[in-house]
Amino acid sequence: MPLPRPKATLALRNAVVATCDRGPSDAGIVAGAAVAIEDRRIAWVGPERDLERAVDLEHARVVDARGGLVTPGLVDSHTHLVFAGDRAGEFALRCTGKSYLGLALAGGGISATTRATNAASDAALLETATIRARRLLAQGVTTIEVKSGYGLYVDAELRLLRIVQSLAASLWAEVTIVPTVLAHALPPERAEDRAAFVRELCEVLIPAVARDKLARHVDTFAEEGAFTIAEARAILEAGKRARLVPHLHADQLTAGGGAELAAELGCASADHLEEIDEPGIAALARAGVVAGLLPLSTVFLGSDRFAPARRLIAAGVPVSLATNLNPGSAMSENVGLVLSIACVRLGLSPAEALVAFTAGGARALREGDLGRIAPGAQADLVLWGCTSPEHLAWHMAVNHALAVVKRGRIVHLAAPGSAADCR
Q: How many CB atoms lie within 10 A of CB 168?
A: 17
The pLDDT value given to residue 100: 64
The pLDDT value given to residue 107: 58
Average pLDDT over residues 369-380: 98
- Which residue blocks in 3-105 are alpha helix, DSSP H? 51-54, 88-95, 100-105
Taking all residues of the chain, what is their mean pLDDT, rounded to a whole number? 95
Encode pLDDT of 331-355 as tens digits: 999 999 999 999 999 999 999 999 9
The pLDDT value given to residue 110: 82
Per-residue pLDDT for 209 more than 80? yes
Backbone angles phi, psi at 401, to 5 degrees: -70, 120
Encode pLDDT of 163-173 as tens digits: 999 999 999 99
Average pLDDT over residues 370-396: 97
Encode pLDDT of 122-142 as tens digits: 999 999 999 999 999 999 999
If you ran DSSP here, which 8-state letter would residue 56 be given? B
Lowest mean pLDDT among 3-7, 239-243, 248-252: 3-7
Give the alpha-carbon dihedral of 377, 379, 380, 381, to 10 degrees: 110
What are residue 222's DSSP bridge partners? 227
pLDDT band at 93 (very low <50, low <70, confident <90, very high): confident
Per-residue pLDDT for 103 more than 70? no
Average pLDDT over residues 216-237: 95
Encode pLDDT of 7-22 as tens digits: 999 999 999 999 999 9
Per-residue pLDDT for 198 more than 70? yes
From residue 116, give the alpha-carbon distance in Å to each of 16, 79, 90, 186, 249: 46, 18, 14, 16, 23
Helix 154-170 and helix 109-119, axial crossing angle in degrees, nearest 10: 70
Per-residue pLDDT for 104 more than 70? no
Encode pLDDT of 287-315 as tens digits: 999 999 999 999 998 999 999 999 999 99
The pLDDT value given to residue 99: 74
The pLDDT value given to residue 8: 98
